[in-house]
């Protein structure tokens, strides 16, 4: 550790180590950061939330929860409002659906009372939407995703808006509202094409929607376009092998 190291830099380095799977090194850095933090609630909150993230990324969400609660309490006391919202959003992420709904509401209420934290609205709606989606509560998930779209539109965030619209399309497909999903998907693809960007997961959704309607030719067109990008994404192929094989089948 150098003289230039402080709690923030050590916590940031620990987070990056967690993202590449080096959890022991991440925890070791946080041990050093906690010593530097002393009794400062803001610094201790930063250590706690990153400790929780390390455990959660390592697959130990039950171990992560007390650290997220600690970060939530300490960040509020320290006036670290963005960090407090981050902690509440992490509690929601590792919680079951009903508790995730409650903590998302807690975070949204906190945002309403603390200007400067509004940028957290989009991630909160997105994360809660996926929690509800994974619980097969597709109507509720769609409502959250649509609110996320509204936030991204208001903030003028084109990349995040495309991701938010993808989530809406996915929920519409789960609800078998294929015509609506296809119409929205086509509009997203048109914008992406105009910007010279790829949208492989929207292409995937369009392929699946057309396949569900029995239109194999249209499904093939979109599957081929999705694969043009995803064939080069080894991480996707490994993590989502079933989806990748499905695209290959649709493209034949």
Where are the domains positioned within the chain?
1-94
pLDDT of residue 3 exceeding 60, the answer is no
CATH: 1.10.8, 1.20.140, 1.25.40, 1.20.950. Which one for 1-94? Answer: 1.25.40
Return the ∠ at Cα 130 (arms to 110 and 215), rounded to 5°.
145
What are the tens digits of pLDDT across the range 217-239?
999 999 999 999 999 999 999 99
**pLDDT above 70 covers what percent of the chain?**
98
Start-to-end CA distance of the chain, whole Å, equals 55
pLDDT tens across 156-180, in order?
Answer: 889 899 999 999 999 999 999 999 9
Residue found by looking up tokens 């530097």 in the block: 36
Which pLDDT value is given to residue 207?
98
Residues 123/111, Cβ–Cβ less than 8 Å: no
Segment among 138-147, 154-163, 201-210 with least mean pLDDT: 154-163
Query: Is the pLDDT score of 2 beyond 60?
Result: no
Band of residue 34 on the pLDDT scale cut at 50, 70, 90: very high
Whether the Cβ atoms of residue 14 and residue 50 lie closer than 8 Å to each other: yes
Give the confidence band of 4 by pLDDT, cuts at 50, 70, 90: very low
Least confident of 3-17, 42-56, 123-137, 233-247: 3-17
Neighbour-count burial for 37-69, b at 16+ CB within 10 Å, e otherwise: beeebbbbbbbbbbbbbbbbbbeebeebbebbb
Q: Give the DSSP H or E segment for 38.
A: none
Q: Residue count of the chain, please give it.
A: 252
Mean per-residue pLDDT for 91-116? Answer: 95
Distance CA 215, CA 218 (A): 6
184: nearest Cα among 174, 173, 194: 173
pLDDT over 90 (residue 1) = no
CA distance 13 to 180: 43
| Residue 44 contacts residue 74 (beta carbons within 8 Å) | yes
**DSSP letter assigned to residue 243:** H
Q: How many C-beta neighbours within 10 Å does residue 24 have?
A: 10
Task: Give percent of the chain with pLDDT exceeding 90.
Answer: 96
Q: Is the pLDDT of residue 5 over 90?
A: no
- Residue 213 is classified by DSSP as T
């Amino acid at each position: 550790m150098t003289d230039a190291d402080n709690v923030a830099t050590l916590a940031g380095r620990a987070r990056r180590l967690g993202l590449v799977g080096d959890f022991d090194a991440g925890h070791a850095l946080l041990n050093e950061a906690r010593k530097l933090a002393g009794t400062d609630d803001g610094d201790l909150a930063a250590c706690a939330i990153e400790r929780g993230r390390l455990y959660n990324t390592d697959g130990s969400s039950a171990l992560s929860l007390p650290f997220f609660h600690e970060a939530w309490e300490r960040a509020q006391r320290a006036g670290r409002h963005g960090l407090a919202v981050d902690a509440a959003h992490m509690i929601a992420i590792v919680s079951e659906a009903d508790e995730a709904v409650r903590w998302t509401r807690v975070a949204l209420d906190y945002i309403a009372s603390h200007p400067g934290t509004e940028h957290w609205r989009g991630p909160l709606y997105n994360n809660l939407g996926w929690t509800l989606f994974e619980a097969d509560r597709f109507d509720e998930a769609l409502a959250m995703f649509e609110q996320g779209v509204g936030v991204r539109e208001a903030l003028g965030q084109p990349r995040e808006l495309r991701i938010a619209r993808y989530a809406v399309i996915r929920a519409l497909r789960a609800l078998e509202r294929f015509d609506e999903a296809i119409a929205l998907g086509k509009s997203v693809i048109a914008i992406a094409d105009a910007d010279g960007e790829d949208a492989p997961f929207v292409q995937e959704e369009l392929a699946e929607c057309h396949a569900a309607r029995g239109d194999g030719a249209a499904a093939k067109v979109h599957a081929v376009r999705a694969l043009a990008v995803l064939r080069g994404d080894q991480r996707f192929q490994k993590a989502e092998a079933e989806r990748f094989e499905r695209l290959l089948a649709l493209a034949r």
